Amino acid sequence: MYLSKYFLPILKENPSEAQITSHRLMLRSGMIKQSSAGIYSWLPLGLKVLKKIESIVIEEQIAAGHIPILMPTIQSAELWRESKRLDDYGKEMLRFEDRHGRLMLYGPTNEELVTDIFRSFISSYKDLPKTLFHIQWKFRDEVRPRFGVMRGREFFMKDGYSFDIDKKSAIHAYNRHMISYLKTYERLGLKAIPMKADTGPIGGDYSHEFLVLASTGESQVFYDSNISDLSLGDNHIEYDNSSNLKSIVNKFTTPYARTDETHDVTLFEKIPENRRMSGRGIEVGQIFYFGTKYSESMGAKIDLPNGKRIPVEMGSHGIGVSRLVGALIEANHDQHGIIWPKAVSPFDAVIINLKQNDKKCHEISIKIYDILKVNGFDILYDDRFESVGAKFSSIDLIGIPIQIIVGPRGLSEGILEIKSRKDGIRKNIPLSENFLELINAIKI
């Protein structure tokens, strides 16, 4: 993509309404524009990042054996009356009547709707287990929407729903989700800690939140520092091996890690003092096991081999996809702007032409652009007639991992300059016909 043809409305000044780094940088870099309080339009740069995160989430869910569907944003209030949550959910739920006077709502979550889908088509134990998930826009009418996409009213969320024959199987589904989420966060370049949590309006008696440590986080967290060293790494996960999954989950949940809602001072003080940590955290996901809360009230039952009919065991599991964009920026930035991890960067690399009116600089830039595109890279070419300082400032702001710098001096010496956005290290690469060294440098 040529930057001169792209839609990238960069702001030179810090927006006065932005209270935290991610909100400020998303507005300044032209990723989003506020439509109304807590509701945003996603502009091209922001949408590319959002879609890359969505793709990784989907890949990891499918790898764990979960099946994608797509449910609507608008739901009938009748289903929520069945589950007895219509009045309990409160003013966060946006309610309205259609032209026939039927009460409708903009879905804040989908337990009722997916339970209705399940009970419509599945009635035998032979069809279990099943886990259905989708990624869809949600709406919760926050009293004070703030911090940009971190606490918006409209948000993009992955929610999954597991259906099992008994509690043992349901806990295995819970463990599957925990590990698939940990893998997702690691692929995104985030350290997300699972913490014992309150179930809130979803219900149930077993839940973990995943929190990214950040000074701007809304949650107060307490944890054993040993948990910071844990990682799944590149190990292959056998999701059908329940005992193996349980041992991995135990490894991540045994060290003390809790939000302030479930914090236990007595347990915390049993940890060696040098390992007791506290701070702030950004919630980026939560998983729940709630048994038969919805299946009992909504009649989602299955037939057993002995003819007995029982409510199906259920759980729900969510990842805040749009919130992850903000969390990634909170964890990856410096005084100049965003520093995207390679997995979610809107472009693989950017070509910065230091002298746009120089014929050779332009020709070499175009040649590099074309060769990299042919080799499967998504490249941004800064072909604007701007000062060198303005180019570097805006490119550092948007945070693309690799900068390819093309200038008259370097070309006269037969070199290209490569700059890493993360650490600022620059290195020279010989100018060659096939740019093989450049291709290899971007792949690293």
The superfamily in CATH containing domain 7-337 is Bira Bifunctional Protein; Domain 2 (3.30.930.10)
pLDDT score for 355: 94
The Cα–Cα gap between 444 and 425 comes to 14
Model pLDDT, residue 201 = 56
Burial 247-277 (b: 16+ CB within 10 A, else e): ebbeebbebbbbbeeebeeeebeebeeeeeb
- Distant-in-sequence, close-in-space partners of 421: CB < 8 Å, separation ≥ 6: 339, 340, 396, 399, 400, 401, 402, 403
Average pLDDT in the 380-398 region? 96
Q: Are 77 and 116 in contact (CB under 8 A)?
A: no
Percent of the chain with pLDDT over 70: 98
Q: At residue 203, does pLDDT exceed 70?
A: no
- Burial of 223-243, coded b for 16+ CB within 10 Å and e otherwise, reads bbeebeebeeeeeebebeebe
Each residue's pLDDT tens digit, 86-145 = 988 888 999 999 999 999 999 999 999 999 999 999 999 999 999 999 999 999 999 889
CA 144/CA 191 separation, integer angstroms: 28
Which helix (H) or strand (E) segment holds residue 48: the answer is helix 44-63
| Averaged pLDDT for residues 166-184 | 96
Question: Taking residues 371-381, what's their average pLDDT?
Answer: 96
For residue 205, pLDDT over 90 is answered with no
What residue type is 237 in one-letter code?
A: I
Lowest average pLDDT, out of 136-150, 190-204, 322-336, 357-371, goes to 190-204
Can you give the pLDDT at residue 204? Answer: 56
Q: Whole-model pTM above 0.75?
A: yes
- β-pairing, 130-139 with 67-68? parallel
- The predicted structure's pLDDT at residue 89: 86
Q: Could you tell me the two tokens for 39?
A: 């509701």
Average pLDDT, the chain: 94
N- to C-terminal Cα separation, the chain: 22
Q: What is the pLDDT of residues 296-333, one digit of tens each?
A: 999 999 999 999 999 999 999 999 999 999 999 999 99
Distance CA(61)–CA(68), nearest Å, equals 8
Sketch the domain layout of the chain as residue ranges: 7-337, 347-443
288 closest CA partner among 211, 382, 178, 214: 178
Q: Which amino acid is at 178?
A: M
pLDDT at 200: 61
Q: Which of 126, 161, 97, 143 is nearest to 313 (CA)?
A: 161
pLDDT tens, position by position, 22-77: 999 999 999 999 999 999 999 999 999 999 999 999 999 999 999 999 999 999 99
380 Cβ neighbours under 8 A, 6+ residues apart: 1, 3, 6, 346, 347, 349, 350, 351, 400
Rounded distance, CA 3 to CA 353, Å?
A: 11
Give the list of residues 6+ apart from residue 267 with CB closer than 8 angstroms, or none: 256
What topology does CATH give the domain 347-443?
Rossmann fold (3.40.50)
Which of 409, 432, 406, 436 has its CA nearest to residue 419?
406
The model's pLDDT over 323-347, given as tens digits with 9 standing for 90+, comes to 999 999 999 999 999 999 999 999 9
Say whether pLDDT at 199 is over 90: no
What is the Cβ-side half-sphere exposure of residue 160, based on CA atoms within 13 angstroms?
A: 29
- Give the single-character DSSP code of 151: B
Cα–Cα distance measured from residue 400 to residue 188, given in angstroms and rounded to the nearest whole number: 15
